[in-house]
Amino acid sequence: MSNETVLQVKELKKYFPIRKGIFKRTVGWIRAVDDVSFSVSQGQTLGLVGESGCGKTTTGRCILRLYEPTAGSILYRLDDQLENIVEFNHAEMKRVRQKLQIIFQDPFSSLDPRMTVHDIIAEPLRINRIGTRAQQSDRVEELLDLVGLNAAQMNRYPHEFSGGQRQRIGIARALALNPEVIVCDEPVSALDVSVQAQVLNLLMDLQERLNLAYLFIAHDLSVVEYISERVIVMYLGKIVEIADATDLYESPRHPYTEALLGAIPIPDPLAKRTRKPLTGTVPSAANPPSGCNFRTRCAYAQDVCAHEEPPLMHIAGDRSVACHFADELELTGFSRGGASRLPVHSALPDLTGASSTEGSPG
């Protein structure tokens, strides 16, 4: 896996106007994304987690310019050099969009109900006038095969498929143009547990085969840990922490990361842990608190937090944190509460031994 940067986001901002009255005057701004910078390397998965309203989806859509960024630059690697695509016109964007694709959360609203699976997957090829009709059909077959669907089904309509299959169709469409980077916007959160695992494994297999880079947006921290090498935590439009996944989960440096990790329900009835639950709720992005965004819910907040906004600072290793006390706080990482791993991940025992007592808790 090469470490070459394919996508770099610099000081990205997206403010949505709040309009009121019959003449829709702008009375304020929702700072959905406020000064966000990060980069994605080829073949790498960068996880982006946060609670609803933290700006993770907006960030993903700005990168594809589905929303126009308010400020900042989005650099994409074209012919071995990074170019700022924010200034690209429609024709230039078309070239970028072949390399930069997206997978959506909702497997129902992401496929046009009137189109056959073939037409849905061939749409990007048709729009970009790639290949003859016959070549497009061959490509569709190839893609269906790649995502584990039967090519014989390509003349059916989306409503005849289950949620997991529809998500595979969405993935095939995203792959049609041979992209390098795919923004995965909560791709498994609408799926059932068993199907979710299938899609996660498929995404990982595809990444290995096609050397894809993913920006994997999700609210489920366990899913993000499973698929990502690096993880960004966002809160109220800002990045609070970026780190390698293992570091972040084992030793968080931001109080919000700690709180998130502490809130994950552990699928283990014997896990014992002391929780420090967050109080309160996320403030409005239209009217964020002064100083540090998180201070209103932070257990470690001090006076300085209300006055000064902590910058995202590079600290030891390859990680950055936006907290005044990143170096002083002793934060606890995710722990399974002492319990050993569940036996289900081990080889299946002899199921037929009805009286077996394997895996009994100690």
Partner 1 sequence: MSTRPTTEQHDTLLRVRGLKTHFRTEQGMIRAVDGIDFEIRRGETFGIVGESGCGKSVTAYSIMQLIERPQGDIVSGSIEYMGEGGRPIEIAALDPNGPDMRNLRGNEIGMIFQEPMTSLNPIYTIGNQIVEAIVLHQRVSKVEARKRAIELLDRVGLSDPQNQIDDYPHQLSGGMRQRVMIAMALSCNPRLLIADEPTTALDVTVEAQILDLMRDLQQEYDMSIMLITHNLGVVAENCDRVMVMYLGKVIEEGSAVDIFYNPRHPYTRGLLASIPQIGLSSRLMPIDGAVPMMQDIPQGCYFAPRCPHVMAICEDEPPMFFPTNAQRAKCWLYSAEAPQQHVK
Partner 2 sequence: MSEAARTPAKLAAGKQQGLSQWDLMYIKFRRHRLAMFSGVFLILVYIVILFAEFFSPYPTNEKFGKFVHTPPMPILFWDGSTLSRPFVYGYKQELDIETFQRTYVADTTQKYYLKFFTQGSEYSLLGLVTTDIHFFGVDEPGLIFLFGTDRFGQDVFSRVLTGAQVTLTAGMLSVAISVVLGAVLGTLSGYYGGVVDLIVQRVIEFLSSIPRIPLWMTLAAVMPTDWSSVRIYFGIITILAFLGWMGMAREVRGKVLILRSMDYVMAAKAGGASSAYNIFKHMLPNALSHIIVVATLAVPVMIIVETSLSFLGFGIQPPMTSLGALLREAQNVQSVVNFPWLFSPAIVIIVTTLAFNFLGDGLRDAADPYSQ
Indicate which single residue of 262, 288, 291, 310 sits in contact with partner 1 (rule: CB under 8 A): 262
Which range touches partner 2 (CB under 8 A), out of 32-40, 70-78, 146-154, 248-256?
146-154
E strands in the chain: 5-20, 25-41, 45-49, 71-78, 81-84, 100-103, 181-185, 213-218, 230-235, 238-244, 313-315, 319-321
Residue 275 binding partner 1, by CB under 8 A: yes
Q: How far is the CB of 157 from partner 2 (least distance, A)?
A: 6
**How many Cα atoms are found within 13 Å in the side-chain-facing hemisphere of 36?**
34
Q: How far is the CB of 339 from partner 1 (least distance, A)?
A: 9
Mention every residue, 6+ apart, whose C-beta is less than 8 A from residue 347.
Answer: none
Contact 192, 184 (CB under 8 A): no
Q: How far is the CB of 361 from partner 1 (least distance, A)?
A: 5
Indicate which single residue of 68, 194, 274, 303 sits in contact with partner 1 (rule: CB under 8 A): 194
Interacting partner of 24 out of partner 1, partner 2, none (Cβ under 5 to 8 A depending on kind):
partner 2
Residues 175-194 within binding reach of partner 2 (CB under 8 A): 176-177
Q: How far is the CB of 345 from partner 1 (least distance, A)?
A: 5
Contact 231, 207 (CB under 8 A): no
Residue 343 binding partner 1, by CB under 8 A: yes
| Nearest partner of 234 among 72, 103, 224, 330, judged by Cα | 224
- Which residue, 157 or 300, has its beta carbon nearer to partner 2? 157
Indicate which single residue of 150, 211, 281, 302 sits in contact with partner 1 (rule: CB under 8 A): 281
Q: Tell me the β-bridge partners of 102.
A: 183
Indicate which single residue of 144, 260, 321, 323 sits in contact with partner 1 (rule: CB under 8 A): 260
In whole angstroms, give the CA distance from residue 213 to residue 223. Answer: 17
Q: How far is the CB of 140 from partner 1 (least distance, A)?
A: 22
Residues 75-104 within binding reach of partner 2 (CB under 8 A): 90, 93-94, 97-98, 100-102, 104
Tokens 């049609």 correspond to 176
Mention every residue, 6+ apart, whose C-beta is less than 8 A from residue 320.
Answer: 239, 241, 242, 243, 312, 313, 314
Going from the C-alpha of 283 to that of each of 28, 193, 258, 292, 325, the distances in angstroms are 15, 31, 19, 12, 22
Q: What's the token pair of residue 342?
A: 């569940």
Residue 106 binding partner 2, by CB under 8 A: yes
In whole angstroms, give the CA distance from residue 86 to residue 143. Answer: 30
In whole angstroms, give the CA distance from residue 82 to residue 5. Answer: 9
Residue 159 binding partner 1, by CB under 8 A: no
Q: How far is the CB of 164 from partner 2 (least distance, A)?
A: 7
E strands in 71-201: 71-78, 81-84, 100-103, 181-185
Which range touches partner 1 (CB under 8 A), out of 1-9, 89-97, 258-266, 287-295?
258-266
Residue 113 binding partner 2, by CB under 8 A: yes
Which range touches partner 1 (CB under 8 A), out of 30-38, 69-77, 172-180, 334-342?
334-342
* Range 324-327, long-range pairs (CB < 8 A, 24+ positions): 324/292, 325/300, 326/253, 326/254
Q: What's the token pair of residue 7?
A: 């996508």
Residue 152 binding partner 1, by CB under 8 A: no
Q: Tell me the β-bridge partners of 151.
A: none
Binding interface with partner 2 (CB under 8 A)? 22-24, 61, 64, 66, 90, 93-94, 97-98, 100-102, 104-106, 109-114, 116, 120, 123-124, 127-128, 148-150, 152-153, 155-157, 159-161, 164-165, 170, 173-174, 176-177, 198
Q: Which residues bind partner 1 (CB under 8 A)?
A: 51-52, 162-165, 192-198, 200-201, 219-223, 225-227, 249, 259-260, 262-271, 275, 277-282, 334, 336, 341-345, 348, 351-352, 354-355, 357-361
